[in-house]
Structure 1
Amino acid sequence: MATALNFTVPLKQDPQSQERLAHLIDSFAESIQPAVDAALSRSQIVHFARVLVIDHKYLQVITEFDGDGMDYTEFFREELGPVFQAIFALAEGAPAWEDLNNPNSFYEYTANLNLHSLGSSTVGNDGRGYLFSAVGDRTVRELQAALRESSPAPDSSLAPST
């Protein structure tokens, strides 16, 4: 069963931080999204992911992932360290990146920013609130394998002749 992450970062409200936030928003699609997309693909554990900025007061990363939270955060700390460094530079009350850039500190800090959904926990989301899954407890890898198995092989008769 997928585990829910509702990572919610309170943002600094001073003019300089808000200007840097505006730049992050404006450049996200071109400069940050490709790295995030590549890391998500390599992970083979994330079902869905999205990044939001709410009223310039909160940055939110919402994902559903398979497996252990510590393994998940460590993978993304290693893969996307510069992205998290930029986010935490905008975060209200965040420790310095040098203090966060290790497995335990990063996990503990980000776990404290994970808001719980309303409702009762489901399997795999103990203490995290409600998360519905239409695919039950299937993992990303299981779903991808099932899709590969159900896809017909390419018809070689349609390939261009050489």
Structure 2
Amino acid sequence: MDQITAFSQSIEQSLQLMQKLERLMLQETEILASRHVDRLQPILTEKQLLIERLEQETTQQKHWVESANHAFTLAGIELFFRDLDPSNDLSNRWSALRATIERCDRLNDANGRLIERGRKRVAMSLRLLCGDDGQSTTYDPYGRATSPTHQSRTISRA
């Protein structure tokens, strides 16, 4: 198998894996938004396996690019493609892969924000149950924030 065919197959494999990862991350978003976290573990397990396979493909791609005396950077990969594939087929597939990676990155950020909001919601609920609303601020006649002087009451004492 020649280098262009092997690299092309690797790019295609990476693209398929990233598309699977993107679908999993969309499922993860739905689960996080619906708060059905009990359904999250199989998604996380499958995501981890996909990431490991992607890392293997990326390591192989890096090896091919560097063995052709190019840096494994955007510029180096473009030079590698120019030398290897004047038809731009690889470059087009690489662009599709990069676009999928960028979408997954945005999904990952959004899912992280969902998780953080959920964590904050739980923390606030726990503070309220303990009688600490943590957010109460009153203002004096001059508009300066002051802490309340009375002790907050827990639900059990209310």
Normalised by the size of structure 2, how large is the TM-score?
0.23
Choose between structure 1 and 2 for higher RCO, CA contacts under 8 A separated by at least 6 residues: 1
Higher strand proportion (structure 1 or 2) = 1
Higher helix proportion (structure 1 or 2) = 2
